[in-house]
């Protein structure tokens, strides 16, 4: 199926992973400086790190004592050195490094993507001993794609891979759901862009803006893709409400101004009950009422069928509704309606995104580690962080349009891998911390610490070979373009870090386009799944997030009790201002007194309560009341 307007014009092609011929890598032979097993990270069989000491001097493998480290200034006294840190020296011989680079370089010709893991110091012995774990991970991925219950806690399949190749779906019903949803997205986007679907009261006579309301996976993916791929003058410009911050919501609505009348509102919530998204929806609906506009004529819902949001949109007659599937998690939903509809409305070729992801999915099904880029990433993560998250992953894309990639990966990696228990019920406190900036801004931000400070990280460079569209480049000085400076900064930073034993991975793409962005998303989705298998955790649930939501609901319930107590005191003659201790007693919640104080301070700061005495800098001194009596509240 082909669609007009260029948003979904291509069709996925099949791809057979090229069998890259590689030679065995050379084992590094010299000693060096990195983290050794620490008491903070007790090992067990499921997270063992075979032959981690192969790159460490033999004496340091027997004990955790160091020889004094040399500094330009002076020697560090031996008694100040941490006993749990050993020195690990990476291979520095240029000829050996070049051979290692050639041996381990992965290339996907059709995607124009390269993966260089040569600056991660794993050994041949480590790879050999990880092979059984990797093969088990490959089998787990096969079962997942066949429709196995990959999220046992919630009894759900995990099927985001089917979104870019519906023929993989385990049933014909799911296949038709995927294809029908994609067709509906393409048709709707084309009708909006072409002016067939219009806002009812806009002077422009067509939709000019998109306001996307969602949080977490319903925002981070669409934001990343918009920043990376939206044309300079898209058919519809996009804005996001991705939080329940009133000032942030007001800012987005104010920026729309009179264009609110020509703004398409997309509300994204899988369950339909996400509080932040619900709040954003209510705020936008109020703005529509204040402007005398009919929200239902401009509202679109992306949610599960028969959810609260779906039923609301159906009853109120919203402009359109699109399905989210039970078997697609928020952090892997970019290739669903969640990401595809906003992208298509901006004129981004969503079929090319799907094609890039499908090609990468095919490549990451390879059972030979060197031919599988996701397995190579997972292997490097395991080596660099000892399989227990002992080091952070710093993501540095050297391209402005990829700035939000690190934010996108934060959720994908940290929500998937940050788990307290493994699949056997053992407490493991797993995870990988992800943060990043962009090159070469990083050169003027935190490269100083990465080069010379605490060694608690490894780096992932994202390199883009094409600087500008063909025919648009020019030389700032003889033989040097602006893009050459960016290239030099990336390569120089990589070399400087490695010279000081800081390991790094480099992912290279020819250019930033829908196909390469789709491939990057698919690459990291699969790498996360493989790594989760290596460390024996469930990558597809998020009990910690649910715990935070439950605690937030308890705070709001307590706030209602506090306001009821204050209202009752404010309705007395004379008014009786209350201390925090008195409020806690009347709420029958003395154990929650600190939270009650914070509630009082917040409502007072927002003119919903008055502090009669004292100040918030001295919590025991304050007395508070509402300032007015709400008689109705007394009898509800």
| Active-site residue identified among 16, 444, 472, 620 | 444
75 is catalytic: no
Residue pointed to by tokens 């490269």: 447
Evaluate whether 235 touches 354 at the Cβ level (below 8 Å): no
Between the alpha carbon of residue 620 and those of residues 495, 507, 580, 593, 623, the distances in Å are 57, 56, 7, 11, 9
- Report yes or no: 454 and 423 within 8 Å, Cβ to Cβ: no
Residue of 268, 269, 270 lying closest to 156 (CA atoms): 270
- C-alpha angle 445/449/454, rounded to 5°? 150
Q: Which two tokens stand for residue 86?
A: 């050993």
**Residue of 54, 187, 198, 549 marked catalytic:** 549
Task: State both tokens at 328.
Answer: 């697609």
Tokens of 114: 């390269």
Q: How many CB atoms lie within 10 A of CB 614?
A: 16
From 110, 334, 415, 525, active-site residue: 415
- What are the beta bridge partners of residue 613? 623
Residue 549 annotated to the active site: yes
Q: Let me know if 297 is a catalytic residue.
A: no
Instruction: Note whether 630 and 609 are within 8 A (CB).
Output: no
The length of the chain, given as a count of residues? 636
Instruction: Give the start-end residues of each E strand in 184-242.
Output: 209-213, 237-241
d(CA 93, CA 359): 36
Q: Which two tokens stand for residue 100?
A: 């290692």
**Residue with the two structure tokens 């040097």:** 480
* Strand partners for 210: 238, 264
Q: Is the dihedral of CA 216, 363, 401, 255 positive or negative?
A: negative
* Max Cα-Cα span within the chain: 89
C-alpha distances (whole Å) from 598 to each of 118, 174, 276, 558 are: 52, 48, 21, 11
Tokens of 259: 């264009």
Q: How far apart are CA 208 and CA 202, in angstroms?
A: 10
The token pair that represents 262 in the structure block: 């020509």
Question: CB of 63 within 8 A of CB of 445?
Answer: no
Please tell me the distance from the alpha carbon of residue 163 to that of residue 182, in angstroms, as a whole number.
9
CB 277 within 8 A of CB 213: yes
Residue 618 CB: number of other CB atoms within 10 A?
8
Q: Catalytic positions, please? A: 415, 444, 549
């Amino acid at each position: 199926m082909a669609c007009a307007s260029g948003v979904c014009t291509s069709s996925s092609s099949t791809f057979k992973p090229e069998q890259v011929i590689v030679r065995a890598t050379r084992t590094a032979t010299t000693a060096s400086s990195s983290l050794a097993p620490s008491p903070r990270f007790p090992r067990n069989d499921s997270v063992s790190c075979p032959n981690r000491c192969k790159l460490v001097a033999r004496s340091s493998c027997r004990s955790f004592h160091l020889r004094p480290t040399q500094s330009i200034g002076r020697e560090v006294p031996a008694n100040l050195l941490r006993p749990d840190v050993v020195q690990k020296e990476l291979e520095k011989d240029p000829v050996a490094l070049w051979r290692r680079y050639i041996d381990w370089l992965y290339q996907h010709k059709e995607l124009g993507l390269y993966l260089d893991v040569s600056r991660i110091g794993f050994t041949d012995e480590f790879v050999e001993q990880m092979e059984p774990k990797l093969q088990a991970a490959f089998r787990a991925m096969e079962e997942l794609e066949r429709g196995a219950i990959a999220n046992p806690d919630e009894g759900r399949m995990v099927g985001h891979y089917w979104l870019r190749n519906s023929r993989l779906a385990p049933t014909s019903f799911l296949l038709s759901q995927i294809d029908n949803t994609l067709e509906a997205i393409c048709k709707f986007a084309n009708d909006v862009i072409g002016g067939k679907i219009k806002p009812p009261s806009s002077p422009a006579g067509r939709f000019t803006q998109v306001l996307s309301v969602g949080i977490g996976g319903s925002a981070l993916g669409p934001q990343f893709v918009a920043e990376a791929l939206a044309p300079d003058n898209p058919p519809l410009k996009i804005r996001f409400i991705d939080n329940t911050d009133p000032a942030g919501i007001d800012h987005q609505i104010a920026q729309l101004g009179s264009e609110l009348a020509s703004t398409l509102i997309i509300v994204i919530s899988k369950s339909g009950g996400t509080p932040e998204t619900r709040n954003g929806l209510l705020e936008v609906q109020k703005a529509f009422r204040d402007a005398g506009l009919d929200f239902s004529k401009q509202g679109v819902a992306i949610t599960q069928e028969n959810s609260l949001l779906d039923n609301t949109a159906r009853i109120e007659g919203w402009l359109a509704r699109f399905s989210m599937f039970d078997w697609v998690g928020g952090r892997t939903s970019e290739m669903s309606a969640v990401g595809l509809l906003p992208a298509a409305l901006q004129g981004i070729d969503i079929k090319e995104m799907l094609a890039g992801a499908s090609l990468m999915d095919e490549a990451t099904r390879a059972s030979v580690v060197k031919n599988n880029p996701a397995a190579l990433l997972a292997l490097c993560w395991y080596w660099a962080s000892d399989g227990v998250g002992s080091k952070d992953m710093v993501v540095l894309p050297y391209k402005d349009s990829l700035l939000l990639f690190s934010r996108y990966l934060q959720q994908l990696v940290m929500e998937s891998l940050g788990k307290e228990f493994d699949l056997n019920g053992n407490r493991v406190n797993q995870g990988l911390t992800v943060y990043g900036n962009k090159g070469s801004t990083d050169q003027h931000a935190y490269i100083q610490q990465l080069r010379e400070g605490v060694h608690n990280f490894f780096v992932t460079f994202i390199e883009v070979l094409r600087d500008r569209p063909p025919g648009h480049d020019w030389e700032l000085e003889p033989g040097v373009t602006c893009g050459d400076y960016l290239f030099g900064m990336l390569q120089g930073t990589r070399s400087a870090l490695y010279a000081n034993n800081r390991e790094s991975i480099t992912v290279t793409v020819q250019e930033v386009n829908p196909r390469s962005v789709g491939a990057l998303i698919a690459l990291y989705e699969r790498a996360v799944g493989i790594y989760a298998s290596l460390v024996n955790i469930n990558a597809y649930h998020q009990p910690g997030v649910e715990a935070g939501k439950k605690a937030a609901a308890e705070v709001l319930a307590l706030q209602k009790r506090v306001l009821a107590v204050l209202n009752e005191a404010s309705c007395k003659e004379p008014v009786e201002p209350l201390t925090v201790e008195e409020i806690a007693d009347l709420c029958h919640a003395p154990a929650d007194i600190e939270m009650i104080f914070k509630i009082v301070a917040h409502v007072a700061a927002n003119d919903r309560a008055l502090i009669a005495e004292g100040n918030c800098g001295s919590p025991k001194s304050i007395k508070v009341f509402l300032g007015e009596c709400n008689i109705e509240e007394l009898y509800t």
